[in-house]
Structures are given as C-alpha cells and as structure tokens.
Amino acid sequence: MRYVLLFLFIFLGTLVFGQSPPLPVEGSIVFERKENSAYFKKKWGTSNTGDQAPDFKSLFFELKFTGTKSVYMPVDSVIKQNGTGGLPGADNIVYTDIENNTTTCMRNVLGTYFLLEKPVAPIKWKLTGETRMIAGFECRRANAIILDSIYVVAFYTDNIVSNLGPETFAGLPGMILGVALPHQHVSWFAQTVNLRNVDETSIRPPVKGNKMTSSGFLTTVKSSLGPLDPYLNEYLYMYLL
C-alpha cells in the first residue's frame, strides 16, 4: 500500500509540474520602422533628400493587442523628438479585429485625415524553415506578395497566441515581430515585448478623419501628392498598407 501511495504521489506531481504555462494572448509591443534613406539619396540625388539627412530614418510604433483585436499607433514622443513626423505613414493608426474581419486605418495626407474601413488583408503567406531571434523570441520566416508586386518577408513567433502584427500585416500562426520589404528598403522590427494584461477599452478604432473607400483614397493621394512629388510611386505603398 505504501508503494502504491508513493507511485500516485509521484505520478500526480508529474502531471501538475509537467504542465506548461499558458501562452500569452495579450500585451504590447514597440516596433521600430526603419527606412534606408541612403538608398533614396543615391537614387534621387541629395536635392530631394537633403545632404544632411541621416542614412537611416526611424519611427516607433506601439501595438496593443488582446485576443483577436489590436491597435497600432505611433509613439508621439519619439516623433516629436526626431522630427520625423513628415515621413509617409508617420502617424498611421491601424485597428484590426480578426474575429469580425475588419480593419480601420487612419491616414494623413497633407494634414487631412482619412478613415479607411476594409476587410483584413488576405495575405497568402508561404512558410519557410528559416528562424531568427527577435526581441528575445525565436521567430519563423514567411514570405508573401502584397499590393500585386511588393515582396514581403515576415517573422512570427508561435509563443504569442495571436495572428496579428504591425500595420495591416496579419494572418500567420503567431504574432508577427518582424517585417521587411527588401526592395522598398523599409522594415518593422519589435524592440520590446511586454506581455501583460491590457485594458480592452484602449484597443478601439480611430475616429478622426473623413471616411473613404480604398479606391477613393488612392485617387485622393495621387491627385493631392502627384503634382508635388515626381517620386510618389516610390513610396505610395506606405499609404496603402
């Protein structure tokens, strides 16, 4: 009888202590959006980018997420400090609701704000075997084509139970912690990950701006910026993500 009790004690202890803790489903992530300005200085000439412009420009955004919802918005203090508020997409706000297949984006064009409501982007990801560490998490690589021709490399971790990510990137079997558009010379990578309880009331869609369809917004961007900037097509994608 004594051996039976000892066996039961060891067996039950193994069940209790052998269980893995539940994977996190909510928290906040700070992303750095980095643009290779040196490439554009060389391509366009310094008259368009400025001789004193740094080789890389960075913006920082925070992604708050809980369950199947997230909101992605700029870190205001960093924009003011670095003077990068004029970059395309510098004050993008993106709300995503995976369960209801809804994305609400706030975009700024020459000081006028627009609201775009659309389905979650149906990105066709192709998983690969490559891995890398990002912000302390092992991430897996996936590739895709968006907006008909833009090549995307993304890295996600299956240690965070969410298929969300920065901007409108989503749809992978884990949180996206890194995205790169190699031919556009821009990337988004997580710098800090804070897995904590998040106030769900802080995750809500933006309301500032004129409501517009994606096609109507594209026409507005081209008509507003096209006459002013001959290089618009080089970064038009930043308004369409």
The whole-model pTM stands at 0.83
Task: Take residue 177 and report the two structure tokens written for it.
Answer: 């912690």
Q: How many CB atoms lie within 10 A of CB 103?
A: 20
Q: φ and ψ at 150, to 5 degrees?
A: -90, 120
- Per-residue pLDDT for 87 more than 90? no
- Per-residue pLDDT for 3 more than 70? no
- Per-residue pLDDT for 111 more than 60? yes
Report the distance separating Cα 132 and Cα 143, nearest Å.
14
**Mean pLDDT taken over the chain:** 83
pLDDT at 239: 80
pLDDT at 133: 98
SS3 state at 185: coil
The class (CATH top level) of 26-240 is mainly beta
**Tens digits of residue pLDDT in 28-49:** 999 999 988 666 656 555 544 4
H helix runs in 19-150, sequence order = 37-44, 46-49, 76-82
Q: φ and ψ at 203, to 5 degrees?
A: -105, 90
**Tens digits of residue pLDDT in 192-226:** 999 999 999 999 999 999 999 988 988 888 888 77
Q: Do β-strands 137-146 and 150-157 pair in parallel, antiparallel, or remain unpaired?
A: antiparallel
The structural domains of the chain, with segments of one domain joined by +, span 26-240
- Per-residue pLDDT for 139 more than 90? yes
Q: Highest mean pLDDT: which of 74-83, 165-174, 224-233? A: 165-174
